Amino acid sequence: MCYRRSCRRGFFGGGHDKKNVTLEDIAKGIREREYKRIVVMAGAGISTPSGIPDFRSPGSGLYNNLQKYNLPYAEAIFEINYFQYNPKPFFALAKELYPGNYRPNLTHYFIRLLHDKGQLLRMYTQNIDGLERMAGIPAKKLVEAHGTFATATCTVCLREFPGEDLRSDIMDGTVPHCSQCKGVIKPDIVFFGEQLPQNFFLYLTDFPMADLLIVMGTSLEVEPFASLSRAVRGSVSRLLINRDLVGPFAWGSSQHSDVAELGDVVSGVRKLANTLGWMPELEALMADESQKLRTRGTLTTVTELNCNERRIGSLI
């Protein structure tokens, strides 16, 4: 098994006659549209370059910065029982993470470009920062495995709200309440012990159909998300772009022609984009979208008093 920082060999082809798959092979397959049903799995590592604290990194992790909320223990912020007792710490965190405070980076836009080219089957993300939507990846192409701030539900009468309805309360540091029953409205973030979003189960059809799996910026430690990396067909290549070898890439398997691009995630994605010859297009897309986000950011403050649904949908 190859542990070089930039590994150009497939890990698991040893002993077989088949040629080991390389990053160049994967790029060729994408460029020549051999891969048309690409599934992407992503975790916190794609959002840290946007400045979002990694929930799971000791020292720099969000959990270490929660002391000011006087939680009995850090994980309580995502526990439904604690939320019902005291929702304020969660909403303080929500204010920090609410869509609009951070911007997507090259990694998000690379996935958007895969979508624009009609080759993204689905993106499965563990992130709740909304940067995928902000990068223009349509909601129907996303499985937000740990939920989203884009929608919210009353904890008492279960009435559903657009996430944007909560924005002014959250930004003011006020706990949002239902206009019907006065219950607390909770963004549709998946708390510990809560059911996964219904569309998570798209994996049952997505993964067997996938012709390429790209795994990026995740420790593959949280189940059931982690197990998805093993749900593609045995002949399907898996590309890991990550700081470390994780999940099946670390354990080894003789079934797959896998490639790992280890190191900084943005650098790995940039290398893939360069190998594809997509960098100019990616940079143009980023420039365009950044300009749109700047314009929308300005308009948001103007239209807060007079929101309309269509704009809300595009903003969150």
Positions touching Zn ion (CB under 5 A) are 154, 156-157, 159, 178, 180-181, 183
Question: Least distance to Zn ion from the beta carbon of 153, Å?
Answer: 9
Instruction: Specify the pairing of strand 237-242 against strand 212-216.
Output: parallel
Mention every residue, 6+ apart, whose C-beta is less than 8 A from residue 261.
6, 7, 23, 239, 240, 241, 242, 268, 271, 272
Q: Is 165 marked as binding a ligand? A: no
Site of tokens 């689905």: 122
Q: Is 288 marked as binding a ligand? A: no
146 annotated active-site: yes
The DSSP secondary structure of 132-189, one letter per residue, reads HHHTT--GGGEEETTEEEEEEEETTT--EEEGGGGHHHHHHT---B-TTT-PBEEEEE
Per-residue tokens: 306:
């007079």
Question: Least distance to Zn ion from the beta carbon of 152, Å?
Answer: 11
Mention every residue, 6+ apart, whose C-beta is less than 8 A from residue 239.
23, 26, 212, 213, 214, 215, 258, 259, 260, 261, 272
* Cβ(133)–Cβ(142) below 8 Å: yes
* Cβ(256)–Cβ(12) below 8 Å: yes
| CB of 54 or CB of 188, closer to Zn ion | 188
Q: Is 48 marked as binding a ligand? A: yes
Amino acid at position 36, single letter: K
Per-residue tokens: 183:
């219950």
| CB of 38 or CB of 178, closer to Zn ion | 178
| CB of 184 or CB of 279, closer to Zn ion | 184
Q: Is 45 marked as binding a ligand? A: yes
Q: Is 307 marked as binding a ligand? A: no
Of 16, 108, 115, 146, the active-site residue reads 146
Q: Is 154 marked as binding a ligand? A: yes
| CB of 180 or CB of 298, closer to Zn ion | 180
Question: Least distance to Zn ion from the beta carbon of 161, Å?
Answer: 9
> 40: part of which helix (H) or strand (E)?
strand 38-42
Question: Least distance to Zn ion from the beta carbon of 290, Å?
Answer: 38
| CB of 53 or CB of 183, closer to Zn ion | 183
Instruction: Specify the pairing of strand 160-162 against strand 147-154.
Output: antiparallel
Question: Least distance to Zn ion from the beta carbon of 181, Å?
Answer: 3
Active site (catalytic) residues: 146
- Residue list, annotated binding site for NAD(+): 44-48, 54-56, 126-129, 218-219, 242-244
- Binding-site residues for Zn(2+) sit at 154, 157, 178, 181
Give the annotated binding-site residues. Answer: 44-48, 54-56, 126-129, 154, 157, 178, 181, 218-219, 242-244
